[in-house]
Chain A
Amino acid sequence: MNLLAPLAAWFALTIPVIVLFYLLKRRRVVLRVPSTVLWQRYLAETQASAPFQKLRKNWLLLLQILLLIFAVFALMRPYLGSQSAPSSLRVLILDASASMQSTDEEPSRFEAAKHEARRWIDGLRPGQMMVLLQAGPRTDVRQSATSDKPLLREALAGCQVTDGAARMGEALRMAESLIRDVADAEIHLFSDGSVGSLAEFENHNLPLIYHRVGQRRNNVALTSLEVRPNPENPQQRAVFVGVANLSPAAVETTVELEFDRDMVDTRPVTIPPGESASLVFVVSQNRDGIFRARHTAPDDLSADNQATVMSLLPPPVKVLLVTRGNRFLERALRLAGHCEVTVGSDNTQVDGKWDVVVLDDVVPTAWPSANVIAVRVAETNWFERTGTLRAPAIVDWRSTHPLLRFVSLDNVAIAEAVGVKPPPWGNVLIEAPQGPLLVAGEIGRHRVVWIGFDLLGGTWPLRVSFPIFIANAVDWLNPTLVRAERLNIRAGDPLRYELPEAASTVEVKPPGGDWERVTLDAGAREAVYGATDRQGAYELRWGTNQVTFAVRALDLAESDSTPRAEIPVGRFGGTAATSVKQVNLEIWRWLAGAALAILMVEWWYFHRRTA
């Protein structure tokens, strides 16, 4: 046991004062009685029958001294020693991601983590500092470095769990920067370990202490919800729902699908443990609206039991193909579905109302205002030509990009390509040793796909992957789908919306909440709203206009709520869960309570004597 304020021992000097008071004569009421004979006998009798005769007279004194000792001891703020080493700065990181909502701890993992963090705050000693970070989709500094316990407690009480995924790398980087100049600093992470991959984090021997919360995994999660045109009937919509069973037993559940609060379909599904099921609902959609899917299996984590997606009814894509003749490309575009293809031979029509303009080996006088697929176009303000690549070999392509989904370039040969520098606005999707062959990116608000080689000068149009790529490209460039993508955001990401005209304020209504007024910068054409911590449908309105956003929590890493015994940090390092629990438990409250009890006993005894 140690003392936080040993100087309070000086208060013990008040004990002699009490004794002094007792040495002074007690004021007695003088009473004349016939005889003291009976009283002498009474005194002799009562004193002889009690142990500690000499002390008996001064029970009150003893009680008061005891009371004072307890009070002084409480003032000295004793605490029970902890296993933790003294540290002058501790950074507490509270994981506020969706998986912390699991109820396997009482009442939830997040509350258990807060409780544990609270104990560390209570154990803060004078001269030590503490920082409180909340790691959700964003990392918030809830309290900067301070020794003030009430401030820290207040900041801790204000922490709220989110529906988003934790970006733990960001939080750890911030914590690392905070402790850079402090030798004995510690970082305490209160988490369940479902923090996604930290392999990219550069671990410079981080003094990380991981306090694990969570006891079991029992979760059935909706892992994906997408709305696409039904490939077999473009008039209908196919809603893909992915359900994963992340609990140790098989689960029978029912997946329900709603469109704008109307029940559309329900489907029972049985999922073995550790596996997932995909369901496709084919529905007809006659207006823009929100699809909401939910499953009914009871589990520990309710945040991922439902998902919403905003679905816009896409009009046919108007495609202008400017080419000197490329039947493969034209055919592929017409096959892409839901396209109205117009073929032109020069670039005079480029300024029309097109959704997508395909420039096949044609250099435009000005870039069109629509989204663009540019084939073998170089030497423009967007590209700097470096030379010509002879028979470039495809060495790598990014199959994770939506453009190259289901696209295999294994047996594609190319005769010649334009050599350009990789532009700063785009990602290189197909690479040859000499330079990029396919670049995709955004310039301003327009998407551009650049293909560096003549399609007819190679084998690609003959492969199956070509029409798939074109279909992907049309989807990726479809402005309606792009807009739909902007209306579907992940929890914690800011909600952005381009306004047709400048507005000073907009109003946002979070799910289950009231309209909130958001003030924009003067002349701003974009509304930004950051508090998207909860999933569901958000509504944005300005003037008489109104848009609905869908915020989703879908994240397989979060839904897999298994408490991890170890968090891998960096490529090689890792931090195991610590067992250091009991921290500097202050016991002055109990001492003060005991002093109060003694005070009451004293009161009772005093009145018992003289009542």
Chain B
Amino acid sequence: MNPPLLSARLLRQLEQLELSAQRRSRSAGKGERRSRARGQSVEFADHRNYVAGDDLRYLDWNLYGRLERLFVKLYEEERELPVQIFLDASESMRFGTPTKFELARQVAAAIGYVALCGFDRVSVRVFPDPESPGSPAGPVVGEAAVRGGLRGIRGKRMAPTFLERMTQVSPGGTAVFNEALRRAALQVRQPGLAMVLSDLLDPAGYEDGLEALIGRGFHVHVIQVLAPEELNPATFGDLRLVDSENGAEEDVTFGKFRLKAYRRIVDLYTQKLREYCRGRGIGFYRTTSDASLEGLLLKELRMEGVLG
């Protein structure tokens, strides 16, 4: 039995929160989110002319008394918010102490838990796909079932199952970030909230995948998780750097005097990413794998407006 992913205390605090959706839900399922659909709730939305067959209970008799015409009162339908959580489980997420994947999984579990508490439908999409080609050191056998079981979960009573399954996910393989996001954008029936948890260090870039999500109508939040040694490398000298995912080699001569130049490059990269996201209405947040989970969830993501 793995240790619990989230402590009981944190779970209680998470129950006080909810995911803030800036758009009305387009989901078909009933839920607790306002939507454009008209249906049954207490929120009045509009009137329309009565046509034969309408439920007489919704006739507005006051209007009939004034205008001698029949109108039906329409109410807002409250729908669920489909929450898609994209969890990067590639080889590169194994780095850092604790690993980047560890933090990303905890954040994913916490957001999923908040969504479940809010009667939203939660799907955690872990990529890379264990069956996808190009992942020789793929995840353990049986992982596919676990990952399948993380789709379309709804209701607070499913939370223990959800958390249990989350602990069973393990990282490995080469992530194809854009491909994973594009495929998900095609697969989902209803767009909703998309949470992307990744280090965003794919050589092919991140733009195509994010644009596919935006184009499908998702409201996207990106949380970039980096390892501390990626921000402040501590190994100096004549180095041959080997990419953990694709095995690419890079000869670098690195010293303390060049640390500043490297940091500037990293900051520039993040800055570009942040500007890209802002231009498309994507929420962006960067954290490191050794950051405090409580601080991140209860403070910083609330300030960013991800949680409310």
Does any Cβ of B come within 8 Å of A38's Cβ? Answer: yes
Q: Does B240 contact A (CB under 8 A)?
A: yes
CB pair A38–B235 under 8 Å, yes or no, is no
**B interface, over-half SS:** mixed
| Shortest Cβ distance from residue B188 to the other chain A in the assembled complex, whole angstroms | 28
Q: Which residues of chain B have C-beta atoms less than 8 A from A34's C-beta?
A: 91-95, 100, 199, 201, 227, 230, 244-245
Please encode chain B, from 184 to 207, with 1 for each CB lying within 8 Å of some chain A CB and 0 for all others.
Answer: 000000000000000101110000
Q: Which residues of A contact B303 (CB under 8 A)?
A: none
The docked-state distance in angstroms from the alpha carbon of A38 to that of B95 is: 15
Surface stretch bound by B, among A3-11, A40-48, A315-323: A40-48
> A445 contacts the other chain (Cβ, under 8 Å)?
no
CB contacts (< 8 Å) of A607 on chain B: these are 255
Check B58 for interface membership: any CB of A closer than 8 A.
Answer: no
Question: Taking the nearest CB of chain B, how far is it from the CB of A37, in angstroms?
Answer: 5
A40–B265 alpha-carbon span in the complex (Å) = 10
Question: B253 interface residue, CB < 8 Å from A?
Answer: yes
Q: Is the CB of B265 within 8 A of A33?
A: no
| Pairwise interchain contact B257-A33, C-beta atoms closer than 8 A | no
| Cβ–Cβ < 8 Å partners of B256 in chain A | 611
- Chain B neighbourhood of A26, CB < 8 A: 238
Nearest residue, chain B, Cβ from A34? B92
Flag if A33 contacts B242 (CB, 8 Å): yes
Contact of B238 among A27, A37, A39, A40 (CB under 8 A): A27
Does the CB pair B252–A43 fall under 8 Å? yes
Residues of the B chain whose Cβ atoms lie less than 8 Å from the Cβ of A611: 236, 255-257
Cβ–Cβ contact A37 & B202, under 8 A: yes
State the Cβ distance, B217 to closest chain A Cβ, in Å: 29
Chain B residues near A27 (CB, 8 Å)?
A: 238
B237 touches A29 (CB 8 A): yes
Find the residue from B245, B249, B251 having the highest chain A CB count within 10 A.
B251
Interface bracket on B: 35 or more
List chain A residues, Cβ under 8 A from B11: none
| Nearest CB of A to B249, in Å | 8
Set of chain A residues within 8 Å of B94, measured between Cβ atoms: 34
A610 contacts B253, C-beta separation under 8 Å: yes
B261 proximal to A (CB < 8 A): yes
- A43: chain B residues at CB < 8 Å are 250, 252
Q: Are A609 and B255 in contact (CB under 8 A)?
A: yes
Q: CB distance B239 to A38 under 8 Å? A: no
A35 partner, pick from B92, B249, B253, beta carbons under 8 A:
B92
Chain A, Cβ-Cβ closest to B175? A35
When the two chains form their complex, are residues B242 and A31 in contact, meaning their CB atoms are under 8 A apart? Answer: yes
Distance in angstroms between the alpha carbons of A14 and B238 in the assembled complex: 25
B265 pairs with A38, CB closer than 8 A: yes
* A36-B249 Cα distance, complex, nearest whole Å: 8
Establish whether residues B261 and A42, one from each chain, have CB atoms under 8 Å apart when the complex forms. yes
For A36, give its contact among B241, B255, B257, B262 (CB under 8 Å). Answer: B241
B258 at the interface (CB under 8 A from A): yes
Closest-CB distance, A472 to chain B (whole angstroms)? 95
Tell me how far the C-beta of A280 lies from the nearest C-beta in chain B, rounded to whole angstroms.
85
Measured between alpha carbons, how far is A607 from B236 in the docked complex, in Å? 11
Chain A CB within 10 A, most for which of B100, B241, B254, B262: B241
> Nearest CB to that of A609 among chain B residues?
B255
**Residue B262 contacts which of A29, A35, A42, A610 (CB distance < 8 angstroms)?**
A42
Q: How far is the CA of A31 from the CA of B95 in the complex (A)?
A: 13
Q: How far is it, in angstroms, between the C-alpha of A26 and the C-alpha of B174 when the chains are bound?
A: 30
Chain A's closest residue to B256 (CB) is A611
**Any chain A CB within 8 A of the CB of B63?**
no
Residues on the B chain within 8 Å of A609, using CB: 253, 255, 257-258
* Residues in B whose Cβ lies below 8 Å from that of A41: 265, 268-269
Q: Say whether, besides A39-B252, A42-B265, A30 and B203 are in contact (CB < 8 Å).
A: no
A31 & B202 in contact (Cβ 8 Å cutoff): no
Which B residues touch A180, using CB under 8 A? none
User: CA separation between A43 and B258, bound complex, in Å?
Assistant: 11
CB distance from B23 to the nearest CB of A (A): 32
Q: Which residues of B contact A28 (CB under 8 A)?
A: 238-240, 251
Cα distance A39–B100 in the bound complex, in angstroms? 19
Closest chain A residue to B92 by CB distance? A34
Complex: A29 Cα to B265 Cα, angstroms? 23
CB–CB A29/B230 < 8 A: no
Q: Does B266 contact A (CB under 8 A)?
A: yes
Q: How far is the CB of B267 from chain A (nearest CB, A)?
A: 11
B42 located at the interface, meaning its Cβ lies under 8 Å from any Cβ of chain A in the complex: no
Please tell me if B248 contacts chain A, counting CB pairs below 8 Å.
Answer: yes
User: In whole angstroms, how far apart are the Cα atoms of A37 and B257 in the complex?
Assistant: 21
CB of B185 to closest CB in A, whole Å: 23
- Contact assessment for B201 and A35 in the assembled complex, using a CB-CB cutoff below 8 Å: yes
If the complex has contacts A28-B251, A35-B245, A38-B201, are A610 and B236 also in contact, measured as CB distance less than 8 A? yes
Q: Does B257 lie within 8 Å of A29, measured CB to CB? A: no
Residues of A within 8 Å of B254, CB to CB, are 610
Is A32's CB within 8 Å of the partner chain B? yes
A29 touches which of B202, B238, B249, B255 (Cβ 8 Å): B238
Inside 8 A of B236's CB, which chain A residues have their CB? 610-611
CB <8 Å contact, B237 and A610: yes
A31:B244 contact, CB within 8 angstroms? no
Q: Is there contact, CB below 8 Å, between A610 and B266?
A: no
Chain A, residues 588-611, CB within 8 Å of chain B (1/0): the string is 000000000000000000011111
B294 beta carbon closer than 8 Å to chain A: no
CB distance from A364 to the nearest CB of B (A): 108
Measured CA separation A30–B252 after assembly (Å): 10
With both chains docked as a complex, state the minimum distance between the C-beta of B239 and any C-beta of chain A, in angstroms: 5
| B244→A32 contact, CB < 8 A | yes
For residue A49, which residue of chain B has the nearest CB? B261
In the bound assembly, the distance between CA atoms of A599 and B268 in angstroms comes to 37
Chain B proximity of A36: nearest CB distance (Å): 5
Contact of B243 with A by CB under 8 A: yes
Within the assembled complex, what's the spacing in Å between the Cα atoms of A332 and B265? 120
The answer for the CA separation of A283 and B54 in the assembled complex, in Å, is 160
- Quote the shortest CB–CB distance from A40 to chain B (angstroms): 6
Kindly report which residue of chain B lies nearest to residue A37, judged by CB atoms.
B201
Complex Cα distance, B255 from A608, in Å, reads: 6
Q: How far is the CA of A34 from the CA of B247 in the complex (A)?
A: 10
Q: How far apart are the CA atoms of A39 and B255 in the complex, in Å?
A: 13
Query: How far is the CB of B82 from the nearest CB of chain A, in Å?
Result: 31
A31 near B257: Cβ-Cβ < 8 Å: no
Residues of B within 8 A of A31 (CB): 235, 239-242
Give the one of A26, A40, A45, A610 with max B CB within 10 A: A610
Q: What residues of chain A lie closer than 8 Å to B245, measured between beta carbons?
A: 34-35
| CB-based nearest B residue for A57 | B253
Instruction: Evaluate contact between B92 and A36: CB separation under 8 angstroms.
Output: no
Query: In the complex, A28→B95 CA distance in Å?
Result: 22
- How far apart are B33's CB and chain A's nearest CB, in angstroms? 37
Would B261 and A29 count as touching, CB distance under 8 A?
Answer: no
Within 8 A of A (CB), among B25-82: none
What distance in Å separates the Cβ of B93 from its nearest Cβ neighbour in chain A? 8
Residues of A contacting B241 in the complex (Cβ-Cβ under 8 angstroms): 31-33, 36, 39
**Smallest beta-carbon distance B119→chain A, Å:** 37
Q: Return A289 CB to nearest CB of chain B, in Å.
A: 81
A to B CB contacts below 8 Å, 29 in the list: A27-B238, A28-B239, A29-B238, A29-B239, A30-B242, A31-B242, A32-B244, A33-B230, A33-B241, A33-B242, A34-B94, A34-B227, A35-B201, A35-B203, A35-B243, A35-B245, A36-B248, A36-B249, A37-B201, A38-B201, A38-B265, A41-B268, A42-B252, A42-B261, A45-B265, A46-B261, A607-B255, A608-B255, A611-B236
Closest 3 CB pairs of A and B: A35-B201, A34-B92, A28-B240
A residues neighboring B (CB under 8 Å):
26-43, 45-46, 607-611
